Amino acid sequence: MSFFKRKIELEPPAPSAPGVAVSVQGLSKRFGDFVAVDGVSFEVGAGEIFGFLGPNGSGKTTTIRMLCGTIAPSGGGARVLGLDVAGDAEAVRARIGYMSQKFSLFEDLTVDENLRFYGGVYGLDGERFAARREYILKMADLVGREGELARNLSVGWKQRLALGCAIIHEPELVFLDEPTSGVDPLARKDFWELLYELAASGVTLFVTTHYMDEAANCSRLAFIYRGDIIAIGTPEDIRVREMHDEIFEVESSDVDAILTALEADEDVQEVYLSGALLHVNMGSGGNAAERLDAAIVRADLPGTSATSIEPSIEDVFVHLVTRERSERGVI
Amino acid sequence: MNLRRIGLLMWKEVLQLSRDKMMLPLIFLMPVMQLIMFGYVVGADVTNIRTVIVDQDHTVMSRDITEAFSASGYFKIVDRLDSEDDVQPAIDEGTAMVAVLLPPGMERDIASGEQVPLEVIVDGSDSKTASVASGYAAQVVASYERERLTALGAVPDGPGIDARVRVLFNPSLRSVNAMIPGLVAMILMLSVSAIMSQAVVRERERGTLEQLFVTPIGRAEYVIGKVVPYVGIAIIQTLSVMVVGVLWFQVPFYGTAWIMALGLLLFLFTGIGQGLIISMISNTRHQAQQTTMFILIPTMVLSGFIFPIESMPAAIQPLTYFIPMRYILVIARSNAMKGAGMSALWPQFVAMAVFAIVVFGFGISRFRKQLAD
């Protein structure tokens, strides 16, 4: 229906190279005066598990929604599986899968009805649907529970059923927006096993997460901050390239007190909680261990010890965000 | 446009509806409740008005007049009092709304050719009943007087003015006859706007709307898949209201089916547009409900559904032209009760068409745009 067609004024993006699943070219999105995504460019290779990281409100979801063709870019463009997302949104949507953090199942339909609905929407015929249905029920560990309402499933099963619905048509590329939020650690681990299996079968995965341990599972990462990509590469690349600072893990009988004391100390670059422990960034100025010991002495809190550690992805992330904030003059 | 996807959306909608423990009773109870409310309560005609008689004459004539009141069906004699002084307490206590005073010596005075005052006291605290009761009382007395004179072989055929009001189209003045066609329009509006907007907002709350739009489902397909089931429900509801109206409440239908159907169809589009607009400006189902109420109250009050537009203050009357319900009420009532056709109803049809195009068009275009952002 022409009534529903969107007017397209943007130049189509350049064709993507072979082996590239997603090619983002100067993509931006404005909502009124607010710039949600500010001219980002990057590529995702076919078969990658691409991790898209950033604090809340940094533009992750907006980027994904543009790549899925549900919202129109304000500038630039992108090719997904070689198709222009602005001009060919419908064709893009037929070939990708999408799973959001809400799991977006029809809660008042049964497991089987959810599968039938999505199978039908993607145009699966009887035989192929039967095969895919069986595969997904097995994958999601829902064999024998086909007649249960989705509402009554516990969160881990809901999550796997949502993944099943998103991949029922065997898409070449799946977008997963915080697919593990609100799920317990064990279920998260199981879910990542499923993602590895999918990736091993050649499917490209584009995953956003705010769990830093999950970021380390990705084959490549991009950090987005306030609508800009601030670092991109394999986890190892990013660590080596972006992180020259020395990181310590600090254990203390009074974590709150030492956190407050070190935050106030001018010789300490960054200090933040990581689980029950503190991570301290002493910068790259050398003599880091001695300087930290001196800071701890100044804090005058007995029962505090520091150990030098390899920076994790989380440390890199905190470092990058802190650096961006101070460069942009944002608190 | 893919028919299979539209079919799936409809299938899913009906399944969801059939499992919704809140919505389903609402859909089926609402018309029943409204029928009872408007058929029996609001539209009920004034009958059995509690009446006391103060007969101080105790003659054949005073008994005949008492009998005439009682036999009219409008008045129910609840007590006979001896003194006029007892009337005030009876009205104060609410045991009576009307008192009829038959003065002593009434029969004798009339026989001797005098003018005798017959006093009717009416409790004005319920203005509608009071005005109806006084009208009926005057009618009862007038018809008694006419019979008496006829029996005496006096005046009736002689010169003089005799006002006889003839009510066209609804001779018994049953309000239910006007209520049922209005109710049909009201239920149609509620089904497609109130219930549909709830369904869309629920979908957005749960994130399934977002999920649907990353599938090949197009926006037009979504709107059709969403609207059609509710239109179906609205049609079932209106038909059942009509059937109950005709069979149970004995509402006569003198209209033309296609004129009625065309009017309701135009109104339906307005309702759908309104539902889409409500679902866009509401983030939660609670908000959608509030917005529906916000629209519903002026619709019920200003459309003429309950209160006649003619009796509204002159300053308010122009506002009623902005209420789409106003026009469908005229169409439904005039068509059902008088058999009015296009030659009489075309201005209403033009207004309905304008509303349908503007509200539906605005709803659809904004809905499309919002989904795109």
**Are B311 and B294 found together in one domain?**
yes
A33 and chain B in contact, CB less than 8 A: no
Residues B26 and B94 in one domain: no
Model pLDDT, residue A4: 47
**Residue B305 within any structural domain of the chain:** yes
The position carrying tokens 């020259």 is: A244
Is the Cβ pair B206, A104 closer than 8 Å? yes
CA B89 – CA B66 distance, rounded (Å): 21
The minimum CA-CA distance between A26 and chain B, rounded to whole Å, is 19
B233 and B344: one domain?
Answer: yes
- What does the DSSP 8-state code read for residue B96? -
| B79 domain-assigned | yes
Task: Write down the residue that tokens 């409809």 correspond to.
Answer: B10
Same-domain check for residues B80 and B134: yes
A238 falls within a domain = no
Q: Residue B9 and residue B48: Cα distance in Å, rounded?
A: 54
Q: Is A211 on the interface with B (CB under 8 A)?
A: no
Which run of H or of E encompasses A79? strand A75-80
Instruction: Flag whether A29 is in a domain.
Output: yes
Q: Which amino acid is at A37?
A: V
What pLDDT score was predicted for residue A27? 93
Domain that holds residue B244: 3-42+174-372
User: CB B19 to CB A4 under 8 A?
Assistant: no
Residue B249 forms contact with A (CB below 8 Å): no
Which residues of chain A neighbour B220 with C-beta distances below 8 Å?
Answer: 1, 3-4
> Could you count the other beta carbons within 10 Å of the beta carbon of residue B136?
20
Q: Does A121 touch chain B (CB under 8 A)?
A: yes
Q: Among candidates B200, B191, B265, B267, which has minimal Cα distance to B30? A: B191
Chosen from A104, A129, A169 to mutate, greatest number of chain B CBs within 10 A: A104
CB contact under 8 A, B214 and A72: no
A190 lies in the same domain as A295: no
Handedness of CA A75, A79, A84, A86 (dihedral sign): negative
**pLDDT recorded at residue A22:** 93
Nearest by CB to A107, from B11, B12, B206: name it.
B206
Tokens 């990462």 sit on residue = A221
Cβ-contact A313, A215 below 8 angstroms: yes
ipTM for the predicted complex comes to 0.82
Tokens of B302: 């200003």
pTM: 0.77
- Residue B169 phi/psi, 5-degree rounding, is 70, -30
- Do both A160 and A198 map to the same domain? yes
Residue B46 CA, chain-centre distance (Å), reads: 15
Q: Are A206 and A264 found together in one domain?
A: no
Residue of chain A whose alpha carbon sits nearest to that of B15: A109
Closest-CA distance, B47 to chain A, in angstroms, reads: 50
B23 contacts chain A (CB < 8 A): no
Verify whether the Cβ–Cβ distance A123 to B216 is below 8 Å: yes
Same domain, yes or no, for B239 and B306?
yes
CB B56 within 8 A of CB B82: yes
Range of the domain at A26: 2-233
Say how many residues make up chain B: 373
Residues of chain A with pLDDT under 70: 1-10, 330-331
Please check whether residues B68 and B190 belong to one and the same domain.
no
Residues of B in contact with A93 (CB under 8 A): 213-216
We report the CATH number of the domain holding residue A134 as: 3.40.50.300
Same domain, B148 and B213: no
In a domain, A55, yes or no: yes
Residue that terminates a domain, selected from A233, A265, A298: A233
Mean pLDDT, contiguous 10-residue spans, chain B (373 residues): 92 91 78 76 69 89 87 85 86 85 86 82 79 81 82 59 56 67 83 84 87 88 90 86 83 86 92 90 88 88 84 88 91 86 90 94 81 54
> Looking at the structure, do residues B357 and B234 belong to the same domain, yes or no?
yes
Q: Is residue B167 part of a domain?
A: no
Three-state secondary structure call for residue A27: strand
User: Could you tell me which residues are beta bridge partners of residue A270?
Assistant: A281
CB contact B16 to A (< 8 Å): yes
Whether residue A211 sits in one domain with residue A270: no
User: Structure tokens of A254?
Assistant: 């009074």
Q: What number of CA atoms fall less than 13 Å from residue B207's CA on the CB side?
A: 11
- Stated length of chain A: 331
Q: Any residues with CB less than 8 A from the CB of B330 and at least 6 apart, and which?
A: B304, B345, B348
The conformational region for residue A76 under phi > 0 = left, psi -120 to 50 = alpha, else beta, is left
A121 and A252 part of one domain: no
Residue of A70, A96, A113 lying closest to B213 (CB–CB): A70
Q: Which residues contact A329 (CB under 8 A, 6 or more apart)?
A: none
Same domain, A37 and A154: yes
Domain count, chain A: 2
CA angle A268, A269, A275 (to 5 degrees): 90
